Amino acid sequence: MNNNTRTLAQWQALLEQFCTQSMSVETLLGAYDPVRERRRLSAAASFGLMGIQVAVEHGGFGAPFSVKAQLAQRLAGLDFGVAMAVVNSQNIADNLSHWLPSEVSKRWVPGLLTGELVGCTALTERSAGSDFSAITMQAEQTSDGWRLTGEKSWIINAKIADLFLVYAQTQPGSGAAGIAAFVVQASGEGFERSADSFTSVAALANASGFRLNGYLAQSDELVHPPGLAFKRALDSINGARVYVAAMCVGMLKESLRLAHAYGRERHTFGQPLGAHQGWRWVLADAAVDLEAASVLVDRAALAIDEKKNVQDLAAKAKVFATRAAQRHLPALLHALGAEGLRDTYPLARHVAAAQIATLVDGSTEMLLERIGKNLDQTG
């Protein structure tokens, strides 16, 4: 089946099947299990979720970005970490199939599409997060390729990934101009996965780090050369800001649904919770911001589909959606009382995940600065 026979409704139906099969509450709780998480990503691949945007000629479905954003929204409603894990592995399949010659990309793309391989993007370092141009991972060109040395941290899927798209500095002191990106395989000599679990928040994002000790990347494993890597990465980050915003919409939407249902069932002082005006207003307030965040996300996703400049829209969507999540998720949890803290509800996980959402792919403060500069440029 290709994209010509898979409508949005069909994507959504398949996603619901995946959620029923692989996203039950029991599988989202308990001790972290890397085998279980690889199995979950393999199941996602069996429903085509690893090939959403990958071109049909490379074995994918060639769907527009807006489809990925909507699927990310639904997954995050159940678990933000799983949504991040699925989207990030899909991103690698799309990236490699788009930028590498087919004779090179076919080494890995088929495995990524089937879930045999798990992928991730590695930009962040301990001293370089939003300030991407400050990365210190070094890549030194040699007669047989590139030698990579350095450390990455807070990388989605790093606990279990087989394949990494690693950004490194080829000309120390050159800033953005010297950054390049390479395919790195976890099985290669010089790759060392970090033992640091980093955090239990959104644990199913499989976030961790790794170190490269003179790892040799072959010449044809250079995906984004110096002079192009930084710009291409920023384009990808704009997309990431939109799907992270969509994930916040998903968490808020699901939490509002659960709170509303609880308000019908739970009675206090002889009437349903939902009959109390003050209680209803908490939900109504969340519904207003949910609608506004959804509109911003949809506008930004459509702009990406239409290949328009999305920098400003992406920033605004992420700022608004993450703020809405930070504001309303605790209130919705509180609306359920102590019941909202039960592990069987996702609200406590969502409250914590909202903090992550404000930090990844550009902090709120950095995005506000970008929006402010755009105001200066447009008058």
Residue 332: per-residue pLDDT = 97
- Whether 4 shows a pLDDT value over 50: the answer reads no
Write the pLDDT tens digit of every residue in 320-361.
999 999 999 999 999 999 999 999 999 999 999 999 999 999
- CA dist 59 and 54 (Å) reads 7
Residue 127: per-residue pLDDT = 84
- What six digits make up the tokens of 228? 């192009």
Write the pLDDT tens digit of every residue in 164-175.
999 999 999 999
- Whether 109 shows a pLDDT value over 90: the answer reads yes
Mean pLDDT in residue range 222-227:
96
* DSSP3 helix / strand / coil % (the chain, rounded to 5): 60, 15, 25
Express as a percent the part of the chain with pLDDT over 70: 98
- CA dist 2 and 14 (Å) reads 14
Q: How confident is the model at residue 8 (pLDDT cuts 50, 70, 90)?
A: confident
Write the pLDDT tens digit of every residue in 45-89.
999 999 999 999 999 999 999 999 999 999 999 999 999 999 999
Residue 9: per-residue pLDDT = 87
- Whether 239 shows a pLDDT value over 60: the answer reads yes
Write the pLDDT tens digit of every residue in 179-199.
999 999 999 999 999 987 767
Mean pLDDT in residue range 227-234:
94
**Helix 65-78 and helix 229-265: axis angle, to 10°?**
40
Domains in the chain, CATH or no CATH each = 3-117 (1.10.540.10), 120-226 (2.40.110.10), 230-378 (1.20.140.10)
More confident residue, 270 or 51: 51
- Whether 130 shows a pLDDT value over 90: the answer reads no
With tokens 């109504």, the residue in question is 284
Residue 268: per-residue pLDDT = 85
Phi/psi of residue 139, nearest 5 degrees: -125, 115
Residue 242: per-residue pLDDT = 98
Coil, helix or strand at residue 212: strand
Residue 133: per-residue pLDDT = 86
Residue 1: per-residue pLDDT = 39
Coil, helix or strand at residue 62: coil
- Angle at Cα 326 formed by Cα 325 and Cα 330, nearest 5°? 95
Chain mean pLDDT for the chain: 93
- Radius of gyration (Cα) for the chain, nearest Å? 21
